[in-house]
Structures are given as structure tokens and as C-alpha cells.
Amino acid sequence: MKRVYNFSAGPSMLPQEVLEKAAAEILDFNGTGQSVMEMSHRSKAYKPIIDKTEALLRELMNIPANYKVLFLQGGASLQFAMIPLNLKKKGKAAYIDTGVWSGKALKEAKKWIEVDVVASSKDKTYNYIPKVDKVTGDYDYVHVTSNNTIFGTLMNTFPDTAGIPLVCDASSNILSEPMDVSKFGIIYAGAQKNLGPAGVTVVIIREDLIRGPEHPQGDLPADLATMLRYDTHAAEGSMYNTPPCYSIYVMGLVLEFVKKMGGVPAMAKLNGEKAAVLYDYLDSSSFFKATVAKEFRSIMNIPFVTTITDAEKAEAINKKFVAEAEAAGFVNLAGHRLVGGMRASIYNAMPIDGVKALVEFMKAFEKNNA
């Protein structure tokens, strides 16, 4: 069996050793005679799995003791609603708009809370991160998106929020480099890029932001659905209802892989090296170019386009490149329709050999098509 190099923005590739271990345990996990995907979430066999996954995430991210780790469903998109519903007190929040997903988050939040867009890079099709040193005001929270999957930009520094809870969608760069969790009120991430398979969403939330009858912030509106309350899930250890058991199990295997690789600092070093291989080629090429200025470049998602100025010819070359790349074993390289061109997502699971092989293919394609 020949494995391809999968450059999908999500769901993304998983480490091969994780897939192999999951496959080996698919019929019989740890001598139980059953698969994790058919196991009761309240059984003695399953509890060590979710406990281990949480413990590994806490270790790898240095999550302080006064934060809860929740394993939820609904993707990051459901968090776009849960955040304003749970944090709304004064009735206003600040959003920094850096791409499609931050735009969707603020659009959803407007259904329940007044939203101030304190900065945006929409004016240049989100090809940069607007500089925001400090956010002050009568806000319940400040929302940012740390990495923009579609446009390939990375927020390298976060604003001083003067005590206002900072909320971060870290779906596409969580575990790619260290994050100081203590600077945030909430970090949330869909798993399907760097954490594991689709189906589970991680929410890391400071305990003082969890509102309910037994929490100091007071209760939430009586008509708020039970499943949309953070205190519901915090009180039940993410088991108020059946959690995405198998996705949590595979996430645990991914976290074991990250630990084995040397932890998040080691992954950051490797991710920087991988990104440099591709960016160095793009910066030296006369046929391809990166779409983002150096100071804002993501190390996870790298959009690039051809330098051909004729739109019709450029589109034909794009289609030819994607087709020939797929035939050569490099899949999911088509760019998002809002950016065009191509995009290589090189999450933690992508080996550096995959990036080097892609660059060699691009060099050959450039030579044959320039």
C-alpha cells in the first residue's frame, strides 16, 4: 500500500504510527475484547482513555490547574455561539477580524451580543494581521483567531486586553508552537487539523468564566439550552451526554505522538523547518509566489499562486498543477476559492520529507511549464 502526502486543510493527515496503533486495537482495545468505538463511555475500560487524553493535553500545553478541559461536539462553529451565550453579561464583545472563520464567529455572536470589530484586515483580502497592541472598553470578552487556515496568516502576538477575558480560536495551529494558556480566558479548537480526527472539539476554559448556580459568576439565563452551557459539561467531566469516544481516543494517540517527538517546543522547531523549506523555494521561484508577507506567514497553511498575470492561463496552470501533483502522490493542494491558486497545509503530522518532496515536484513543474 502506498500512502500519499495529504496537504488537506482539514480533516488533515494523521501520523502513520497513530493510524497503525488504532488499527491494531480496532477489534480489541487493551484486552477488553471490544473496540473503543463500541465501548460504553461510562465503563471502567473507557474512563482511563479520556483521563489520559486530558492529562496529556494538560502536560503538553502546560494548562494551569484553574482551567477546565472540555471535550465537546459541534466543531469550532458551535463555539461561535456558546462563547457569547455563556460570557454575555454587559452585552458587548470585541472581535479582531482576520479571515473567514473570525468573520463567521463575529456574525454568529451578533445574534446575542453587540459586537465591535476593533480591527480588520478585510481591506486587503485578509493577507495580513492588523496590529492591535491593546483593547480596552466595556467588553465581556475579546475574540481572536490565532491562525487563518484559508488565507495563511498567523497572529504572532496577542493584544493586551487589560483584564478582559481573551478568547482564541486556535483550531488550525494548536500544538504547533507553545501558547501561554494563562493569557487566555478560553482557547478552543476543532480537532481535525492538529489534534485528531473530526468529531471532537477541545475547549480550555478558565474556571472563573464558567457560570452556573455553583460558580461565582452567577447563573445563566433560564432559557439557555442545557447542552449550550459550559457548566453542564464541566460538572460532568465532558460526559453529560455520550462524548465522541473514538475521536477522543485517537486524540490521545496523537498527543502521545507529540510527546514522543519532544513535546510542543520540538514540534515548533520542526514546523518552522518545514515551513522554511517551502517558503524559501517560493521566495526564490520566478514561477510561484507566496501570497502573504513574511511577517504574517503561517507555518501551518501556506497558500501560493503562479506568477502568470493572464487570469485564464493562470487558472489553466493551477488546474494542471493540482492534477499532476495528485497523480504524483501530493493530494488536496487546490487553494480555497477566496484566494485561488494552491495551498499546502503542513500540520504536525506532515513529515519534513513530504514538504521536501513537494518542493522537488514544484521545481520540476516550474521547469516544464515556465
Instruction: Provide the residue ranges of all domains of the chain, joining segments of one domain with +.
Output: 16-260, 263-369
Q: Which fold has domain 263-369?
A: Aspartate Aminotransferase, domain 1 (3.90.1150)
Q: How many CA atoms lie within 13 A of 25 on its CB side?
A: 18
| Digit-coded pLDDT (tens) for 315-333 | 999 999 999 999 999 999 9
Q: What is the structure's pLDDT at 338? A: 82
Query: Residue 370 CB: number of other CB atoms within 10 A?
Result: 12
Q: What are the backbone angles phi and psi of residue 339, rounded to the nearest 5°? A: -110, -35
Terminal-residue alpha carbon distance, the chain: 34
Q: What is the structure's pLDDT at 337? A: 85
Residues of the chain with pLDDT under 70: 1, 215-217
Q: What is the structure's pLDDT at 339? A: 85
Pair 324, 289: CB distance under 8 Å: no
Q: What is the structure's pLDDT at 100? A: 95
Would you state the cell numbers that stand for residue 16, as one nine-digit string? 502513520
Would you state the cell numbers that stand for residue 241, as one nine-digit string? 451526554
Pair 230, 205: CB distance under 8 Å: yes
Active site residue 169: yes
How many residues are recorded in the chain?
370
Q: What is the structure's pLDDT at 1? A: 65
Q: What is the structure's pLDDT at 216? A: 64
- With b meaning 16 or more CB within 10 Å and e meaning fewer, what string describes 335-366? bbeebbbbbbbbbbbbbeebbeebbebbeebb
The CATH architecture of the domain made up of 16-260 is 3-Layer(aba) Sandwich (3.40)
Given 101, 140, 231, 274, the catalytic residue: 101
Q: What is the structure's pLDDT at 218? A: 74
Where do the DSSP E strands lie in the chain?
5-6, 67-72, 92-97, 114-120, 142-145, 147-148, 153-154, 166-169, 186-190, 201-206, 288-290, 301-306, 330-331, 342-345
Instruction: Check for a shared fold between 16-260 and 263-369.
Output: no
Active site residue 101: yes
Given 68, 88, 97, 169, the catalytic residue: 169
Q: What is the structure's pLDDT at 165? A: 98
Q: Give the CA angle between residues 299, 300, 304 to the nearest 5°.
A: 85
Given 68, 88, 193, 274, the catalytic residue: 193
| Digit-coded pLDDT (tens) for 242-280 | 999 999 999 999 999 999 999 999 999 999 999 999 999
Active site residue 193: yes
